[in-house]
Amino acid sequence: MIEKNQIPALDIVQSTARMMKTLLARRLYEFGLYAGQDRIILSLALNDGQSPGSLAKQLGVKPPTVTKTIARLQEQGFVTKRGSHKDQRQLHVFLTKDGHKVVKLIEAAIAATERDITYGLNENEHVTLLKLLGRIQKNVEEQQLELSNIYAENENGIF
């Protein structure tokens, strides 16, 4: 049972994550980038020439969301789409020169945001924070997998 003045960890994590995303979004907006575009650009910087479907799966979002974001990035001149060498019906997304240039700006904005949000933590506290968040992330991933298995079994008439 939650004590009267105790804030649940879930509330703290959700609120903090939302505020952190807002801080980063404000920094990215200075470069003409909108929320979510940074993740696609950074993903392409690591592995250029991905399909929209693989980007969606990698980023954990729905394909229409990625398609819309790619269209906006293309309008802004950060990405271009080309047909696959194997199958011209399959489109792949590539960074343009401007897209490659903005990668460093995104990385700097992320570093500045991380520096600001961890201000006052010593190195040991910072390492501990990352370990704890990593453990929490692993727990959440395991719960999601378990729930998706339960839902799949339920859809298959096992329950």
Same domain, 127 and 103: no
Q: Which residue from 92, 101, 102, 98 is spatially nearest to 49, judged by alpha carbons?
A: 92
Beta bridge partners of 123: none
Structural domain range at position 140 = 122-159
**pLDDT for 3:** 66
Domain assignment present for residue 112? The answer is: yes
Task: Please give the model's pTM, rounded to 2 decimal places.
Answer: 0.80
Q: Are residues 108 and 134 in the same domain?
A: no
DSSP secondary structure code for residue 81 in this structure: E
Tens of pLDDT along the chain (159 residues)?
Answer: 556 677 788 899 999 999 999 999 999 999 899 989 999 999 999 999 999 999 999 998 999 999 999 999 999 999 999 987 777 778 999 999 999 999 999 999 999 999 999 999 999 999 999 999 999 999 999 998 888 888 777 666 654
- Same domain for 26 and 72? yes
Q: Which two tokens stand for residue 47?
A: 């592995």
